[in-house]
Chain A
Amino acid sequence: MIATPRQNLPDSQRIVITGVGLTAPNGNDWKEFRDSLLNGRSGVSSYEIRYVGETLAGVCDFDAKRYQTKKDVRRGTRAGSVGVYSANEAVKHSGLDWENVDRSRVGIYVGVTEHGNVETENEIYELKGFDYDTQFWSHHHNPRTVANNPAGEVALNMGITGPHYTIGAACAAGNAGLIQGAQMLRLDECDVALAGGVSESIHTFGIFASFKSQGALASHEDPTRASRPFDKERNGIVVAEGGCLYVLERFDDAKRRGANIYGELVGYAINTDATDFVLPNPERQAECVRLALGRAGLAPEQMDIVSTHATGTGLGDIQECAALRSVFGECENTCVNNAKSFIGHAMGAAGALELAGNIAAFADDVCHPTINVDDLDPECDLPGLVLNEPREMGKPKYVLNNSFGMLGINSVVIIERI
């Protein structure tokens, strides 16, 4: 079914986006996020976390209490709160008559890079004060750390009784959540899919410490300048939190209810490098891009915007650019950008957020830039790079969104303007 060229799909198999809910370090809804991307507003700030000390992070300031009680926030996880906020915002944005939606036909598919580290670290920190006597270990630990937690908290909060789970896909998870949602709609497992990704990763010291040990944690005297994919002076990743969940529906359902449609998922692919734990493989990345294009029945030159995954690491950015050069090297009209330069790497949310930041171009016909590129690394030079200033476009029709992760997972989605 998934290999069917999209041109031959009946309306009941076409998947469209009808709502977007998000929180990013530089915006707590789609409009605010987009405004930040077009106006060069970074969401990266100084940040302190236990053991690691002073560092940098993309920190969100959404109002969790908008949709949760204080007790819900206390009992749950940060990833759960991010998910609950994003899901409620998405449903509100979709215009669905939520009170009358059959909640047993709603599915929740939340991409995560990791889950449980935050709570485990917190518990061990607490336990140290009790000389590691496990009778002081919290009974909340298991429900907070089960892998489905961020999706399950959404279900609890919104009374959704359809399927819910997370998709663990490292930093490809945002796209993977979206793809899972589309597949479940096509299989008629649900009528509405809340799909995308979340990240609570700035609350685990381990992720900072591990990137630091790997020589991949960004530093800069000006936090807003620290995340600088493609720049010669890039020195690593800025870890960020955030979330972005989409309301996905089948095209015929969306049309029937007169929904606003923000784009159609016309192609996607996930593949695997099978070469290294950490280092990416540009050949497999290029294969993934071509696979998504092939399934969409589209050619590289038809892509108006390519949203890169690049995280600001020395080798990773070069590898992705090599992959993109092999596919889009001759595409003079394809714009290429990067949202991590604004918000850092929002891990499980990254792919979903970066896509949202770009499909907004269907409404305003502008490609947001990659900021912080003062001295472009020649190895990252691609024909269509949009650097530092937004670029007016004609009427962009296609956005291709890359999202890659450790253990060699690659994901690509292509969204068409409707």
Chain B
Amino acid sequence: MTPADIRDEILDILEDIAPDEDLGELKDEVAFREQLELDSMDFLDIVMELRKRHRVQVPEEDYGELASMHSTVTYLTPLMKDLQKA
């Protein structure tokens, strides 16, 4: 998966876990929490969906890497580059 594919995948997950939010205006450099109503359970949902959909494991010490779209894609790119886009 390319960084663009990963971004699409994260957007898809966010649409599920934050269904009331308008994600069209999401700024990649700004923390999710500053733009969306996300709490710790929602971040765990992102972790769980990555695990369920792609068997990607995000260890607890790396949760901070999921702060913004940019940091998330940067973090996941090496972990997901060999995966096929669904």
Interface residues of A (CB under 8 A from B): 69-71, 74-75, 130, 135-136, 138-140
| A130 vs B41: C-alpha distance when bound (angstroms) | 21
Question: When the two chains form the complex, which single residue of B16, B19, B20, B48 contacts A136, counting CB atoms closer than 8 Å?
Answer: B48
Across-interface contacts of A136 in B (CB, < 8 A): 48, 51-52
| A138 vs B19: C-alpha distance when bound (angstroms) | 18
The answer to whether the Cβ of B17 comes within 8 Å of any Cβ in the partner chain is: yes
Question: When the two chains form the complex, which single residue of B17, B37, B44, B51 contacts A74, counting CB atoms closer than 8 Å?
Answer: B17
Across-interface contacts of A138 in B (CB, < 8 A): 48
The answer to whether the Cβ of B18 comes within 8 Å of any Cβ in the partner chain is: yes
Across-interface contacts of A70 in B (CB, < 8 A): 19-20
| A69 vs B18: C-alpha distance when bound (angstroms) | 10
Majority SS at the chain A contact face: helix
- Count class of interface residues, chain B: 10 to 19
| A75 vs B45: C-alpha distance when bound (angstroms) | 10
CB distance from B84 to the nearest CB of A (A): 19
Interface residues of B (CB under 8 A from A): 16-20, 37, 41, 44-45, 48, 51-52
Query: Contact at B44–A139, with CB atoms within 8 Å?
Result: yes
Across-interface contacts of B52 in A (CB, < 8 A): 130, 136
Across-interface contacts of A71 in B (CB, < 8 A): 17-20, 37
Across-interface contacts of A140 in B (CB, < 8 A): 41
Query: Contact at A74–B41, with CB atoms within 8 Å?
Result: no
Query: Contact at A139–B41, with CB atoms within 8 Å?
Result: yes
CB distance from A115 to the nearest CB of B (A): 20
| A139 vs B44: C-alpha distance when bound (angstroms) | 8
The 4 A-B residue pairs whose C-beta atoms are closest, nearest first, are: A70-B19, A69-B20, A139-B44, A70-B20
| A118 vs B51: C-alpha distance when bound (angstroms) | 23
Across-interface contacts of B44 in A (CB, < 8 A): 139
CB distance from B55 to the nearest CB of A (A): 10
| A138 vs B49: C-alpha distance when bound (angstroms) | 10
Q: Could you write out 6 A-B pairs with CB less than 8 Å apart?
A: A69-B20, A71-B17, A71-B19, A74-B19, A130-B52, A140-B41
| A52 vs B54: C-alpha distance when bound (angstroms) | 32
Question: With A71-B17, A136-B51, A140-B41 given, can you name 18 additional A-B contacts, CB distance below 8 Å?
Answer: A69-B19, A69-B20, A70-B19, A70-B20, A71-B18, A71-B20, A71-B37, A74-B16, A74-B17, A74-B19, A75-B41, A130-B52, A135-B51, A136-B48, A136-B52, A139-B41, A139-B44, A139-B45
| A140 vs B44: C-alpha distance when bound (angstroms) | 9
Across-interface contacts of A135 in B (CB, < 8 A): 51
> Which residue in chain A gives the minimum CB-CB distance to B57?
A135
| A25 vs B57: C-alpha distance when bound (angstroms) | 44
| A75 vs B41: C-alpha distance when bound (angstroms) | 9
| A69 vs B37: C-alpha distance when bound (angstroms) | 12
Question: When the two chains form the complex, which single residue of B18, B19, B20, B48 contacts A139, counting CB atoms closer than 8 Å?
Answer: B48
Across-interface contacts of B16 in A (CB, < 8 A): 74
| A139 vs B41: C-alpha distance when bound (angstroms) | 8
> Which residue in chain B gives the minimum CB-CB distance to A70?
B19
CB distance from B32 to the nearest CB of A (A): 14
Across-interface contacts of B19 in A (CB, < 8 A): 69-71, 74
CB distance from B35 to the nearest CB of A (A): 15
| A94 vs B41: C-alpha distance when bound (angstroms) | 35
CB distance from A105 to the nearest CB of B (A): 28
CB distance from A314 to the nearest CB of B (A): 46
> Which residue in chain A gives the minimum CB-CB distance to B47?
A139
CB distance from A280 to the nearest CB of B (A): 42
